[in-house]
């Protein structure tokens, strides 16, 4: 398993290649993603949910993270891994692979679950500390990544972009690049896992973002959490989402 972290500001990479494991699809997977159990993540949370590391991975890797919430679970059900190595980052880039092939019936916004967030320590009164949030939802049966970013130029305090996943039942790659400031930029790439991407050609860009009220990304969580009633009622501990190859950096493009 590759586990790589650097906190020195002089180094451009702040990487956490969470569950990447190059080599055989029959690799023996670790049992615990958290550092307390030998894994690369700062911590994990499993409440009324399941979490495992299973083979094969999603990017020619050996293993991937498997998560699901129990059917009928409470609003605080979660199955997540968390990285607390960022420190009020003025620029934060992250990328992960997600497999949604076991999730069908996404025909209502009332079925949604949070799959990723990047939070700051502080934020404006009455608003979430999340600077970037990615939820999985859908209205046509196909999954959509609903990306929400902190933006005080909006009355609501955030901007939201729904992006249909190019591979409706399979593996996609999500990457973003967030800067801090009164005229900050958020760029995102949402592609099939096999699609080659470049720094110069994001799927979309939001300019003129004001996120100075937030203190910069200081932790990131990935998995299933913050699910609404429809998700918790309809999906079971056997309808999993899979994640792999999380990486976060300060400057450089990540891509495949």
Partner 1 sequence: MKNQFIMAVLATVLASVGSDAFAAACVANAIFTAPGPAAGNTCSGTDQLTDVCGDGTPIGGAKEFIYSVSLGATNSAAFTVNSPGVAGAGTGFNPYVAFMSGAACNSLDTCATNNAENSGNAQTNVTVGPTANAPAGTYFLVITDAGAAANCGPFTVALAGTLPVTLQKFSVE
Binding mask 202-221 for partner 1 (x = CB under 8 A): ----------xxxx--xx-x
Please report whether residue 110 would count as binding partner 1 according to CB under 8 A.
no
Q: In the β-sheet with 171-179, what is the strand arrangement from edge to edge?
A: 49-54, 64-69, 241-249, 91-99, 171-179, 184-192, 204-209
- The two structure tokens encoding residue 139: 């209205």
Please report whether residue 70 would count as binding partner 1 according to CB under 8 A.
no
- Is residue 18 a contact partner of residue 62, using CB atoms and an 8 Å limit? no
Q: Which residue is it, tokens 């307390």?
A: 36
Please report whether residue 116 would count as binding partner 1 according to CB under 8 A.
no
Q: Which is nearer to partner 1, 114 or 249 (CB)?
A: 114
Q: Which of 181, 49, 43, 194 is nearest to 114 (CA)?
A: 49
Please report whether residue 100 would count as binding partner 1 according to CB under 8 A.
no
Q: Which is nearer to partner 1, 24 or 121 (CB)?
A: 121
Q: Which of 241, 211, 249 is nearest to 130 (CA)?
A: 211
Q: Which is nearer to partner 1, 104 or 212 (CB)?
A: 212
Stretch that binds partner 1, among 61-69, 86-94, 126-134, 232-240 (CB under 8 A): 126-134
Helix (H, G, I), strand (E, B) or coil at 67: strand
Q: Which is nearer to partner 1, 40 or 157 (CB)?
A: 157
d(CA 84, CA 129): 14
- The two structure tokens encoding residue 152: 């005080």
- The two structure tokens encoding residue 37: 């159990």
Please report whether residue 122 would count as binding partner 1 according to CB under 8 A.
yes
Q: Which is nearer to partner 1, 128 or 195 (CB)?
A: 128
Binding mask 28-57 for partner 1 (x = CB under 8 A): ---------------x-x-x----------
Please report whether residue 76 would count as binding partner 1 according to CB under 8 A.
yes
């Amino acid at each position: 398993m590759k586990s790589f972290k650097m906190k020195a500001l002089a180094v451009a990479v702040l990487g956490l290649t969470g569950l990447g494991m190059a080599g055989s699809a029959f690799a023996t997977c670790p049992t615990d993603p958290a550092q307390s159990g030998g894994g690369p993540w700062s911590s994990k949370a499993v409440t009324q949910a399941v979490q495992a590391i299973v083979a094969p991975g999603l990017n020619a890797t050996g293993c991937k993270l498997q998560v699901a919430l129990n059917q009928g679970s409470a609003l605080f059900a979660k199955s997540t891994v968390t990285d607390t190595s960022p420190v009020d980052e003025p620029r934060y880039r992250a990328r992960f692979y997600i497999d949604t092939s076991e999730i069908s019936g996404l025909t209502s916004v009332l079925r949604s679950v949070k799959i990723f967030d990047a939070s700051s320590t502080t934020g404006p009164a009455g608003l979430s500390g999340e600077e970037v949030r990615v939820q999985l939802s859908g209205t046509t049966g196909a999954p959509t990544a609903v990306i929400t970013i902190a933006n005080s130029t909006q009355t609501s305090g955030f901007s939201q972009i729904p992006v249909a996943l190019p591979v409706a039942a399979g593996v996609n790659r999500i990457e973003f690049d967030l800067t801090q400031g009164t005229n900050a930029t958020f760029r995102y790439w949402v592609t099939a896992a096999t699609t080659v991407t470049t720094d110069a050609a994001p799927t979309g860009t939001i300019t003129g973002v004001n996120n100075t009220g937030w203190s910069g990304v200081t932790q990131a969580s990935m998995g299933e959490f913050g699910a609404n009633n429809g998700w918790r009622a309809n999906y079971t501990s056997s309808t999993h989402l899979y994640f792999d190859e999380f990486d976060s950096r300060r400057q450089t493009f990540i891509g495949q």
